[in-house]
Amino acid sequence: MKLAISGPLDWSLTSGALAWILLVLGCGALLGLAVSASDHWWSRRFPTAVVLAAALTALLVLVVEDWWRPFPDPLPREVEVWTGIALLGPLLAVFRMSALRWRGRFAAAGAALLVLAMGANQVNRYYQQYPTVRVLLAPWLEHTPKLAAGQAAHTVAAPAGRPLESVWRPPAGLPAKGTVSTAAIPGTKSGYSGRDAYVYLPPAYQADPRPLLPVLVLLAGQPGSPSDWVNSGDLAATMDAFAAKHHGLAPIVVSADPTGSTFGNTLCMDSRITKAQTYLAEDVPDWIHAHLQTATGRTATMIGGISYGGTCAVQLAVNAPQVYGAFLDVSGQDEPTLGSHQETVDKAFGGDEAAFDAVDPLHVMARQRFPHTSASFVYGAGDGTYGPQTKKVHEAAAAAGMATVIGSVPGGHDWGVFKAALAGQVDWIGKTTGLTG
């Protein structure tokens, strides 16, 4: 257990010394709040705090899963437990306040904050959303510039039947790293309003002549944001590492917005909710090719995503195969959902099962073949919920004639898996899109 030498902002929140120190301090603070020599404390106040913490946790779960329903999945039991512990700390502190002097009250408040921080980070360790302090504070620390990519006077295209790498000669002084910027992609045809996309441009894009690179459209999960791939997914580092092995070449990556808000669920469909499919199948590709110099055609355009975004990637690939010639599905669902099948059909299509079946990936692949589409499926080896669903979709894709690959990485349904999946598939992405041989 060693702290990273790059500084406190880069210390790990999910493994290593800092995570364990926070866990030990939080447990110590909880124990300090819980222990008392008073009989009254053990007979009334302590059990009351425990019951209240359990009741508040149960109420929170009820609100999230049965009323608010910001996402279709139930909360994992581990997350529920740590949420209860996080609530117990402040409740214990409140019940102790009347018997304490001011100094003791400040100590109790500090202990409560430690328990809260411990509980929150244990939930974070489950999802691995914020691997470091830097990622946690990214909205306040990082300033991502707006896209300002101009047009190069000369370009280099991949020759027929050969990868782009076979004809690319990097100029002297090519930067070692790519750039990340933001850009608004309007819903010109769809009327859809999405948050700003994040655009990764590899080192070779900064050259003149400029290679016409393939494009990977990436989608985050739900809840989620386009920035997740940049922060939690370590997108730039993964692509820069690939570029370092291929003379500065890597795919252009556009992290687009399939949900419209953190907890939104558009189903990635054209429905009563919104026209998300039109946005992702027309508005986003049209904007990319109008504002960036890229390779064109379905074989040079891929879509990918994680969880909800993985489901969305399959949907776009089978409903807009003329746009996306390949897709990457990481831990996706076996059908788009708002929580239940009936609720989805009712809210999105007014109860019309045929309308849902017309765009649902499993139904589309059951009646149509895709011999010219390539697909990669990845799931967490310990993911008992999404692993089987990903395998089911893979079987349907293979039966529909797609060129498929499937694999797993250690972990569950978390950003550790998602990040490893992208890093493990970047070579496949390069070959499939004609970038490398």
72 has pLDDT over 80: no
pLDDT in tens, 297-349: 999 999 999 999 999 999 999 999 999 999 999 999 999 999 899 999 999 99
Choose between 6 and 291: higher pLDDT.
Answer: 291
CATH assignment at residue 369: 3.40.50.1820
Q: Is the pLDDT higher at 276 or at 44?
A: 276
Instruction: Please check whether residue 119 lies inside any domain of the structure.
Output: yes
175 or 71: which leads in pLDDT: 175
Is the confidence at residue 2, as pLDDT, over 60?
no
Of 74, 99, 127, the domain-final residue: 127
Statement to judge: residues 333 and 425 lie in one domain = yes
The per-residue pLDDT for 141 is 80
pLDDT at residue 1 is higher than 60: no
93 in a domain, yes or no?
yes
What's the domain range around 329?
Answer: 146-432
Position 136 in a domain:
no
Q: What is the mean pLDDT of residues 215-242?
A: 96
Which is higher by pLDDT, 75 or 375?
375
The whole-number pLDDT of residue 137 equals: 87
Asked if residue 205 and residue 67 are part of one domain, the reply reads: no
Q: Where among 97, 127, 157 does a domain terminate?
A: 127
Sheet with 179-183, edge to edge strand ranges: 179-183, 197-201, 252-256, 215-219, 301-306, 326-330, 374-380, 403-409
Answer yes or no: is 85 within a domain. yes
In the chain, pLDDT over 70 holds for what percent of residues? 98
How big is the CA angle at 123 (ends 120 and 124), to the nearest 5 degrees? 85
Query: Does 427 map to a domain?
Result: yes
Q: For residue 4, what pLDDT is reported? A: 40
Mean pLDDT, rounded, for 98-126: 93
The reply to whether 123 and 150 lie within a common domain is no
pTM for this entry? 0.88
For residue 58, being part of any structural domain is answered with yes
Same domain flag for 255 and 352 = yes
The whole-number pLDDT of residue 6 equals 63
Mean pLDDT in residue range 37-57? 89
| Same domain for 152 and 111 | no
Asked if residue 139 belongs to a domain, the reply is no
Same domain, 78 and 174: no
Mean pLDDT of the chain: 93
Q: What is the mean predicted confidence (pLDDT) over 9-22? A: 89
User: Domain ends where: 73, 96, 127?
Assistant: 127
* Claim to verify: residue 172 and residue 118 sit in the same structural domain: no
Does 117 share its domain with 205? no
Domain tally, the chain: 2
In a domain, 52, yes or no: yes
Rounded-to-integer distance, Cα 228 and Cα 428, Å: 22
Instruction: Using the predicted structure, report yes or no on whether residue 139 has a pLDDT greater than 90.
Output: no
Contact 227, 209 (CB under 8 A): no
Task: Answer yes or no: do 153 and 228 share one domain.
Answer: yes
How many angstroms separate the CA atoms of 308 and 294, rounded? 27
Residue 3: pLDDT band with limits 50, 70, 90: very low
Do 66 and 171 lie in one domain? The reply is no
